[in-house]
A and B are shown apart, each in its own frame.
Chain A
Amino acid sequence: MRLAAVLNVLSLVLLLFAASMLVPLAFSLGFRDGASPAYGKAMGITLLAAALLWGATHRAGRELQVRDGFLLVALVWTVLPAFATLPLLLQLPALSFTDAYFEAVSGLTASGATVLSGLDRLPPSLNIWRGFMIWLGGMGVIVLAVAILPLLGVGGSQLFKAETPTPMKDTKLTPRIAETAKGLWLVYFALTVACGLAYRWAGMSWLDAVMHAFTTMGLGGFSTHDASFAHWNSPRIEAVAIVFMLIAAINFATHFLAWHRRSLRPYRVDPEAKAFLGVALVSVLGVAVYLTWDGTYADFGTALRFAAFNVVSIATTTGYASTDYNLWPIFAPLWMLFLCSFASCSGSTGSGMKMIRAQILFKQVFRELLRIIHPRVYNPVKLGGQTVENNVVFAVLAYVFVYVSCIIVFTLLLTLGGADVVTAFSAAVASINNTGPGLAQVGPAATYAVLTDFQTWICSFAMLLGRLELFTLLVVITPAFWRK
């Protein structure tokens, strides 16, 4: 364990993060919304902190080992939000640090849960900053750093391992990690541009289009309007959002391969993408039928429109809303929350336990059943024609156990803080899956501002834990990690 080396790399990441504040600064100057001094100060403070940290640790060198990678990731995801609060705190003096940190974590983990209301009246640049945090967080600040900072190439492979979440991390796309990161980043960037143009075409203003392109591709649900997508009430905008949310919830490695080989074959052979799209389609139709049958909407067409947008939004862990689905009969929103815990693919900007784990788990169940009928059978879990090693299956089992335990623990802690059970449960699920809105008091029409400070910190931690795929963060907390 080389703490100094880790801190040294952290200082460089921080430096980069300070530079990212140029984006809202530029918007602020462009729109003359009067928020530019806040970004200036925030950048100054961040730069100063980065410089001090660098000065204290630059002698240590920057060669990282696997273990250091975990620590670095954990530190980046906890320290960056602290600096990300600066523009918010400076611009909105009424905001407490707890709430600002929650908002920043929610942004950088691409969750989209917000404590702010009156979004329409915020300075435009502040909304851009919120969206940009999601965009950065979506693909992972670290992946960006690997692509941009060649010096991380040394420990890059290890970093990538900790950062890019998938049970089968060893499938490399290109021989060199930096090349892979660059490729992924390029795909991400290109898709974001396409998404922004599509929004503009569908009728958003340029500012909204940019902000929503950021939050759509990052699959975080921040919006520039309190009413979220209900503000426009436009099927065309919703259709664009659905398409890009679905794209962003598919493994970017698959997008990269498809783009690299100029063929659609990678989608066809990606077992996760198929399952994800299948589950999404069935759920949308099922919820639409249910809502029509229940009488929530008079005709199937309207039901389908609202079901399609909201189900896809929640299932992909985005968190936009085009209506207050909290008012739907409880089965529908619960089903949506259930979806968000497993529907999105690994390697996407979505969160939750990921489709690949759900598939492995599902197949493991059938494997056990088959073994009861045929005691001598040799039937490994297979995914996409590939055998999944037993240790991967065990890791997935452990993961799911921890995942479910976390939901229970967080629900209990939130009720301990005084929340009712639907609020507590939905907030816990929505936080750990980085979805954003929950139900009841934290539903799509409300904000997380109703939570007490204690509850807010719980949710912040849950979002970090979920974004870092539990183990990355938990391993840092184990005593064995710190033993020499």
Chain B
Amino acid sequence: MKIIILGAGQVGGTVAESLVSEQNDITVVDTDPARLRALQDRLDLRTVTGSAAHPSVLTEAGIEDADLLIAVTQSDETNLVACKLAARMFNVPRRIARIRATDLLDDPRVLGPDGFDVDLSICPEQVLTDYIVKLVEFPEALQVLDFAGGKVSLVAVRAYQGGPMVGRPVKEIRNHIPNIDTRIVAMFRRDGAVLPDGDTVIEDGDEVFCLAASDDIRQVMKELRRMDQPVQRVMIAGGGNIGMRLARALENAYSVRVIEHNKRRCEGLAAKLNRALVLNGDATDEELLEQENIAQMDLFVAVTNDDENNIMSCLLAKRMGARRVVALINRRSYVDLLQSGQIDIAISPAQATIGKLLAHVRRGDVVAVHSLRRGAAEALEAVVHGDRDSCRVTGRRVDEIELPAGATIGAVVRGSQVLMAHHDTRIEAEDHVIVFVTDKKTLPRVEKLFQVGARFL
């Protein structure tokens, strides 16, 4: 597939990186040659320097025969114009734009075919905010992902001594919670994946991925660890784009404090927030944290745009008594370094946000793709089409499907019904199937399974 990526920033770079490895022709456009050079040194792709909204630059990037345009520059307006140009002048079949301003999303006419002709809009800040809000709602979870419009959730929990299931084999979960249908789809033990079968014993410290209907996930987590007190007080370090969205999402249900060092930014925050407390100061300032009762905080979230700052303030907050700390960390090496150490959860924004985008690049009818374990594993939701002859999934029992090693079918959503997949579950057309893939290399084979054969189209 020929893909053009506009913008070589944080998001653009990560998107390029994850697409390069999947055998696509990628061209990246940016105004900053230094950024492009850095990208080109690392990855096998083409770069073009210039404004992403200029037709000449787009032509140079080969937009005429591009299959997909991903406009992820810093500016909403540039992204919009690029999409419109791509649609009207160059007939690019699919266009994805990063849109931050919610104003533009309110009315469908803005992005519709008569407007700027954007097929899919993504807002990384919003995705991250949703991610963190989930962590506030489920303080025991490492990650919570929704599938099938929120009907099914995949939750990552670290098993701790004290949970009834710890030290027991997987199959016993059915005896523990007989009225809840759940499935343990994967386990990670000391950074290695364990493919669980019924006899695998859950050990203390395992990272367990369970699929269950969204209403049941609290019950499931209860089996794996002792439950914490629900979160009441949240402190957010950094009142930037993410910090503000987060504070707005949380301020009505929780007691929220936002620390921001820029005074001008504080004004903006205070104007937008109604109940959250805006504090002017540095999140690594011990005195300020003390003053604001850091020891009473149930959750400390560091979301400034500086990795080191986030890490340091989280370490400090943890030492001073915050119950749980979450840091936003861009550099992947840092993330691997810190997860499960002093910092409870390290979030890599790039990995968290590109899932939605990647879904559009997949073959087959893939609705959602989520990166798990910082990209080592993926969970995807695909819609099954065709019939027994045209598709290798439709009409078959789960154990008849030739899944590659490391891939498991976790759940099936049929209409409003959620079915946990067992070996004899039969898959029908229009089902949403949630597949868990521990080895990313096998992804293309999984996608191919869900494609409807060409002769039947």
Contact = CB atoms under 8 A, between A and B. Distances in A.
Interface in A369-401: 370, 374-380, 382, 385-387
B270 A380 contact: yes
Interface in B254-275: 263, 266-267, 269-271, 274
A378 B270 contact: yes
A387 B274 CA distance: 10
B279 A376 contact: yes
A370 B278 CA distance: 11
A382 B263 CA distance: 17
| Secondary structure call for the A interface | loop
A378 B292 contact: no
A126 to B, nearest CB: 54
A374 B271 contact: no
A387 B270 contact: yes
Given A374-B291, A374-B292, A379 B267 contact: no
Select the residue from A375, A376, A379 with max chain B CB neighbours within 10 A: A376
Contacts of B266: 378
B280 interface: yes
B291 A375 contact: yes
A376 B291 contact: yes
Contacts of B269: 378
A379 B270 contact: yes
Contact of B281 (A376, A379, A386, A387): A376
A374 to B, nearest CB: 6
Interface in A295-314: none
Given A374-B291, A374-B292, A379 B278 contact: yes
B278 A378 contact: yes
B236 to A, nearest CB: 14
A445 B263 CA distance: 58
Interface residues of A, number: 12
Nearest to A370: B277
A98 to B, nearest CB: 52
B256 to A, nearest CB: 13
A387 B271 contact: yes
A401 B270 CA distance: 28
B277 A374 contact: yes
Interface string A338-382: 000000000000000000000000000000001000111111101
Contact of A382 (B274, B279, B291, B292): B274
Interface string B358-374: 00000000000000000
Contacts of B263: 378
B288 interface: yes
Nearest to B263: A378
Nearest to B258: A378
Contacts of B274: 382, 385
A374 B279 contact: yes
A377 B277 contact: yes
A114 to B, nearest CB: 47
A378 B288 contact: no
A387 B277 contact: no
Contacts of A385: 274
B270 A376 contact: no
Select the residue from A377, A379, A387 with max chain B CB neighbours within 10 A: A377
Nearest to A380: B270
A378 B271 contact: no
B212 to A, nearest CB: 40
Nearest to A385: B274
Interface string B281-305: 1000000100110000000000000
A380 B269 CA distance: 10
A380 B266 CA distance: 10
Contacts of A370: 277
Given A374-B291, A374-B292, A379 B271 contact: no
Contacts of B288: 376
Interface in A51-81: none
Nearest to B266: A378
A379 B277 contact: yes
A387 B268 CA distance: 10
Contact of B280 (A378, A382, A386, A387): A378
B267 A380 contact: yes
Contact of A376 (B267, B271, B280): B280
B305 to A, nearest CB: 20
A325 B374 CA distance: 76
A378 B271 CA distance: 10
Contacts of A387: 267, 270-271
A451 B291 CA distance: 60
Interface in B328-380: none
Interface in A413-429: none
Contacts of B279: 374, 376-378
Interface of A: 370, 374-380, 382, 385-387
Those 3 A-B pairs whose CB atoms lie nearest each other, nearest first: A378-B266, A378-B278, A387-B271
10 contacts: A374-B291, A376-B281, A377-B280, A378-B267, A378-B278, A378-B279, A380-B271, A382-B274, A387-B270, A387-B271
Interface of B: 263, 266-267, 269-271, 274, 277-281, 288, 291-292
Given A374-B277, A377-B279, A378-B263, 18 more contacts: A374-B292, A375-B291, A376-B279, A376-B291, A376-B292, A377-B280, A378-B266, A378-B267, A378-B269, A378-B270, A378-B280, A379-B270, A379-B277, A380-B267, A380-B270, A382-B271, A385-B274, A387-B271
